[in-house]
Structure 1
């Protein structure tokens, strides 16, 4: 009996040690933005940093234009400061602290006396766990390729995309998302209301993040279908990069946004910003790998 207990204890310790070892992963990133007015920067801001496997999105509130204020300056300044803070933490080998990053960035923008307001989405991967902070109606969905076995022997194994996580909009009322604003008397709009989620990822998982210009014009089923087609083409021939899928999503959302309503759903003209992330095994990454529309942050 004692020998049996000892063997069971050894097996339990071994299983626990195996489960506790995180896998080192990284994000392959693609990103872009299509403003609703050609030739302008728009109010949406984004960054995607390969070296620190991090990204951010901010949707400036266009209503400020009635006061002669470019809300895009506010959203880009906020993300610029957030990116700097995330880089500093990564250099110091600190664990991701997205609430702390967001708070520092918001306070820094308030000190600049910039007028405007925006929503905010931040994400950062450490080993095999991604942290996601969201405030407002930017969205993100996490998809995992999975094999569907045939019902009968000799049938074909197919692949589908399983939904791991889907954020939900945080709204005061229709078309009025929670947001960070220069008119806030304090920082309670951030510290009390954001969503903070962590997900354990695997190689092959796909993250689709975007401002509401993406999700208002492309439904979740179509996004899953486009991601699946990309995954299958990569599996079959290694063709198509992460940026290719990001570009495809941008083009499709822009097409629907400009289509007359009678030809299908959507038709909501808006700035569209997208960050696409594919989870891969860890490997050396160029220290200059940054995609963004943050002029001050470009390398």
Structure 2
């Protein structure tokens, strides 16, 4: 049980980890990467949620052969339309009903479609572990290491469900495949999303939703999928953070964010909203977990600490989107290495280069004409550029990124440079459909 005690020690006493960072700062990769991975071990958190229903198995994505892995954009449709609704975030379900988007031509509710692009890059250590897992299990998975993701159109509607999941690498210290939990959670959410979020639901999923204490779409999805993989027995142990969103045909985005993955909304070249991480302490985010009984018993004997995070602990928000809005979902591999000003500049440049945004005579950014014809390439370009920039920053040993600055402020030690990690990004572009009576204003 020595590895378990070590990981718990790192989790409970972050100052010890700070000393390790300081002592080995000059040794940089590959040795310092192992120290950083050890700090990830401090993210081992325990949950005591009740078990539930069987897992739905479904293959997700494709295995890359190194470098960046890219996913195709989701289906889009309809001509470009005008702006709809107003920005801002509301509270969780039950505190504020999501507002309807502004009418788009002839008094009808605005109809939205979405293009989704994806890029990911696994850090070296987790990529090797993920490939080893693939050889053993024979499953198809993207080249995202311990990160995972999903995005899917909901039935024959234009609504989409999507999310990013960051597996807790510290489980590797106790011989657990850290990729299994995160990828299984993504597979389950993608598989059940049309039934859980759409109406009418079918089969046993319908009864679960009816009996659920939740009514907020992304939280229903996260809670149902988490319950399914816990009860299946196919995932023996592991944990992850999760950031899940549901974008409706009416232009409403609902989100449930647990941990230090996150999302940001960009409108007309400006950062409209950025989620805030949930952490117990420095580099120890909220997370969902499956803990074997033997480990729980050993932890009790040693006087261990249980975080006990559950889907209900997620931060919930509702946003009203406008035509041309961009939403970035990402794991902390990006957020720990790129500041908001950095990723905002990349999104702006990518959307202009991809032909989805243009500048008016006053230099202001806004949706370009014929946006749907270019949307898929633009979101893929934005996602690829974001991952590439985050990867370069993570390997920079001299320029302090957000993780380094937070370590210096909160831990009082001179950590320098970026933080090597798995990086996963989804970019969603909102498009308001129109019958031609609504025009794009430039």
TM-score, length basis structure 2: 0.53
Inter-partner Cα distance in structure 2 for 1:71 and 1:199: 33
Any conservation in 1 of the 2:151–2:190 contact (CA below 8 Å)? Answer: no
Cross-structure match for 1:131: 254
The match for 2:384 among 231, 242, 247 is 247
Any conservation in 2 of the 1:216–1:268 contact (CA below 8 Å)? Answer: yes
Inter-partner Cα distance in structure 2 for 1:267 and 1:187: 28
Inter-partner Cα distance in structure 1 for 2:382 and 2:247: 20
Any conservation in 1 of the 2:196–2:221 contact (CA below 8 Å)? Answer: no
Q: Secondary structure at the match of 1:252?
A: helix
The match for 1:33 among 78, 99, 120 is 120
Higher strand share: 1
Offset at 1:179? 0.3
Count of paired positions: 252
Inter-partner Cα distance in structure 2 for 1:31 and 1:141: 15
Any conservation in 2 of the 1:204–1:280 contact (CA below 8 Å)? Answer: yes
Where in structure 2 are there 5+ consecutive unaligned residues?
A: 1-99, 132-142, 202-214, 297-305, 359-367, 402-416, 435-442
Inter-partner Cα distance in structure 2 for 1:256 and 1:103: 34
Change (3 A) 1:18 1:116: closer
Cross-structure match for 1:70: 177
Offset at 1:162? 2.2
Inter-partner Cα distance in structure 2 for 1:17 and 1:109: 36
Counterparts in 2 of 1:1-299, with a 5 A limit? 22-37=109-124, 38-39=127-128, 40=131, 41=143, 42-50=145-153, 52-89=159-196, 92-93=199-200, 97-113=217-233, 114=235, 115-126=237-248, 127-145=250-268, 161-183=269-291, 189-233=309-353, 234=355, 235=357, 240-260=377-397, 262-265=398-401, 266-282=417-433
Any conservation in 2 of the 1:26–1:125 contact (CA below 8 Å)? Answer: no
Q: Secondary structure at the match of 2:243?
A: strand
Q: What RMSD, in angstroms, separates the aligned Cα atoms of the two structures?
A: 2.8
Q: Secondary structure at the match of 1:164?
A: strand
Offset at 1:226? 1.0
Offset at 1:190? 2.1
Q: Secondary structure at the match of 1:213?
A: helix
